């Protein structure tokens, strides 16, 4: 299908109602850097689907219906820097998808708005081996808790998106154990925050690094009752008491 296009650098196939991709269909695109497959009807990413795309650096699979990624589907794509799997139907992700062999250049991983089953099969993803990651989007999940050490392997992150989850609080250790050195963008709006003394450290951090918290006017307190619906742009650290 793509014979004679070996020099092509980008291919946009989004919103084309694609439900399946034959093995080897991209094999002639040896110089392709960017592949857009968003908003199609893909349900399975199978072995051989991406054969020949060794130069690929970015792939967008946003808004498909992917329920399964086979262990070897991404093996030809070990130069990827960005993977967007937002808004699919993934419940789990096998260890081998990332480690067979490991990605070395991955800096951005988008996995939000999937119905994740957060059992022992997903423990590897939080987040051992992802030391090079610079951006992660966990938007629109149903997270109620982030453990103290969850982000320890990810100390090179510059952007974290936690918008639209079910977080009520965030432990001091999540940020300071050890401290992030490169973090410049933090999204935490549309969570039911309990703005008591346990969150004071984060409000103090916003004063210390005003650039860090994106859109503080959309970060609202749900608890305690006397702070309900008040936004972080008008609150001060001393308002966060127990």
Q: pTM higher than 0.75, yes or no?
A: no
User: What is the per-residue pLDDT for 129?
Assistant: 62
User: What is the per-residue pLDDT for 180?
Assistant: 85
Residue 109 CA to residue 70 CA, distance in Å, equals 18
- pLDDT class of 156 with cuts at 50, 70, 90: confident
Burial class (CB in 10 A: 0-12, 13-18, 19+), 241: exposed
Query: Is it the case that residue 170 has pLDDT exceeding 80?
Result: yes
Residue 103 CA to residue 127 CA, distance in Å, equals 13
- pLDDT class of 203 with cuts at 50, 70, 90: very high
User: What is the per-residue pLDDT for 214?
Assistant: 83
Q: Which domains does the chain possess?
A: 1-73+80-91+107-114 (3.80.10.10), 126-242 (3.80.10.10)
Q: What is the mean pLDDT of residues 173-180?
A: 84
């Amino acid at each position: 299908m793509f014979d004679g296009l070996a020099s092509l650098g980008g291919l946009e196939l989004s919103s084309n109602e694609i439900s399946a991709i034959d093995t080897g269909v991209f094999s002639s695109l040896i110089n392709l850097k960017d592949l857009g497959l968003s908003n199609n009807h893909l349900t399975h990413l199978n072995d051989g689907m991406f054969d020949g795309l060794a130069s690929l650096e970015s792939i967008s699979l946003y808004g498909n219906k992917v329920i399964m990624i086979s262990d070897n589907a991404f093996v030809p794509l070990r130069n990827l820097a960005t993977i967007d799997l937002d808004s699919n139907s993934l419940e789990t992700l096998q260890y081998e998808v990332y480690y067979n062999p490991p990605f070395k250049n991955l800096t951005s991983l988008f996995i939000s708005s999937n119905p994740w089953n957060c059992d022992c099969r997903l423990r590897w993803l939080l987040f051992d081996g992802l030391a090079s990651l610079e951006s992660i989007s966990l938007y629109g999940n149903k997270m109620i808790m982030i453990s103290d050490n969850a982000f320890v392997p990810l100390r090179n992150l510059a952007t974290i998106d936690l918008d639209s989850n079910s977080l009520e609080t965030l432990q001091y250790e999540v940020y300071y154990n050890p401290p992030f050195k490169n973090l410049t963008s933090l999204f935490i709006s549309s969570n039911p925050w309990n703005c008591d003394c346990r969150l004071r450290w984060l409000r103090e951090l916003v004063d210390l690094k005003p650039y860090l918290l994106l859109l503080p006017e959309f970060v609202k307190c749900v608890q305690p009752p006397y702070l309900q619906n008040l936004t972080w742009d008008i609150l001060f650290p001393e308002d966060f008491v127990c």
